[in-house]
Amino acid sequence: MQKDPVCGMTVDEKKTKFTSEHEGTTFYFCSANCKSTFDKDPHRHGHPK
């Protein structure tokens, strides 16, 4: 299980279809909205600069 970096919800990385790759790290999301929010500004949502 992974934590959605936008909303903090626990996400099953084996089941979710919402993922993003950023600087070699895969992030998992509970919804398309959280993925979209992250994609706009990954550094604001938990991915260090």
Cα distance between residue 34 and residue 5, in whole Å: 8
Domain of 18, in residue numbers: 2-44
**Which string of b and e fits 12-33 if b means at least 16 CB within 10 Å?**
eeeeeebebeeeeeebbbbeee
How do the pLDDT tens digits run along the chain, 49 residues long? 999 999 999 999 999 999 999 999 999 999 999 999 999 999 888 655 5
In a domain, 13, yes or no: yes
The reply to whether 49 falls in a domain is: no
Tokens of 21: 């790759």
Within a domain: 11: yes
Q: Is residue 35 part of a domain?
A: yes
Residue 25 inside a domain? The answer is yes
Counted domains in the chain: 1
pLDDT at 45: 82
Q: Considering the domain boundaries, does residue 17 fall inside one?
A: yes
| Whether the Cβ atoms of residue 35 and residue 20 lie closer than 8 Å to each other | yes
Specify the pLDDT at position 49.
52
Flag whether 6 is in a domain. yes
Provide the token pair at 44: 């604001």
Q: How far apart are CA 18 and CA 48, in angstroms?
A: 20
